[in-house]
Amino acid sequence: MKSSIAPLAAICLFVIGIACAQGAADGATVEQEIRRLDQMEADAVLRGDFATLDRLWAQDFTVNTPQNDVSDETRARVRAGKISYTSFVRVAEAVLVRGDVVIVMGRETIVPEAPTPNAGKTIQRRYTNIWLKCDGEWHLVARHANVVPSS
């Protein structure tokens, strides 16, 4: 009896190992894709590329803004030119893949242009972006950004 259990246990461990390795590979692929989309979103904001933003932002995209309010008006504000930058550099520092939800955390350096608050100043921010996969596509559903006080 013991001799038949050992091969079965070895096969089970092998299958579990393959499944774990496949999950890690899938997570790495998702992380690469989200890093690409997260950068694409920052570039689209900088260029005022509304077609790309409309594709990336969820219909109910909501932002906890650096002005200390929660707003679902970001899309309208960007379209109206109330949020625009002459420079926008984003660095993703952590990407947490949790199935169909991915959380990206990092830092941004922006230079707003009028009529955006702090126009002409270099602003350091911390950000968190939350991406959700819906119907096979990734969408940015929520974001938090806060200004890092200068020291």
- Taking a C-beta distance cutoff of 8 angstroms, is the pair 122, 131 a contact? no
Return the HEC string of 41-77.
HHHHHHHCCHHHHHHHEEEEEEEECCCCCEECCHHHH
Average pLDDT rounded to a whole number, residues 25-48: 93
Determine which of 5-9, 62-66, 85-89 has the lowest per-residue pLDDT on average.
5-9
Average pLDDT rounded to a whole number, residues 9-28: 57
Q: Report the CATH number of the 2-147 domain.
A: 3.10.450.50
Q: How far apart are CA 114 and CA 84, in angstroms?
A: 8
State residue 110's pLDDT score: 97
Name the band, by pLDDT with cuts 50, 70 and 90, for residue 14: low
pLDDT digits (tens, 9 = 90+) for 93-122: 999 999 999 999 999 999 999 998 899 999
Name the band, by pLDDT with cuts 50, 70 and 90, for residue 90: very high
